[in-house]
Amino acid sequence: MRITEKHVNESHLEEVYQLIQKGKSIFGIDMEDVKSVLVGKEGILYEAYKDKGIENGAFMEEFFDTVKKMEMVQNCTGILFNITMPDDDPLVMDDIDIFFCFLKLFEEKNMMIQWGMRVSEAETQTSILMICTKDRL
């Protein structure tokens, strides 16, 4: 799996919002959610797409196992997630459990967490977009 990284801040509000608006919302993220994580902060946007032949659960486990080791993820004060899946390959409860297990890493922190899920007829692969931010110094 390849995880792309891009530095983001509040100047990227519209770009980030457009990235998360693919497909029909199951649990939506709106512009206010994006602002709550990005305004006055610096961060990294991580994005990955599931490879053909890989199960959603294996994709999510590999993504979360990889990013939890990254310094920005370990030190962030805000996170925004968006998971987009094709309408013919929905996530099942076991897949969702992988996501919530990852979120448990942040239970002790007082931080902003926003998340959403979308189903898209146009998308052919499940994707995860995650933004981790911290206050500007």
Tell me the per-residue pLDDT of 51-76, one tens digit each, with 9 for 90 and over: 988 999 999 999 999 999 999 999 99
SS3 at position 127: strand
In a 3-state reduction of DSSP, which class is residue 106? helix
Amino acid letter, 116: G
The low-confidence residues of the chain, meaning pLDDT below 50, are none
pTM over 0.75: yes
Can you give the pLDDT at residue 107? 82
Contact 46, 4 (CB under 8 A): yes
User: Domain with 42 in it: what CATH number?
Assistant: 3.40.50.1440
Number of domains the chain contains: 1
- Joined tokens for residue 20: 């998360």
Predicted local distance difference test score (pLDDT) of residue 137: 62
Cα separation, 92 vs 60, in Å, equals 12
| Residue-level pLDDT at 136 | 77
Which residue range forms the structural domain that includes residue 122? Answer: 3-135
Report the relative pairing of strands 112-120 and 41-49 from DSSP bridges.
unpaired
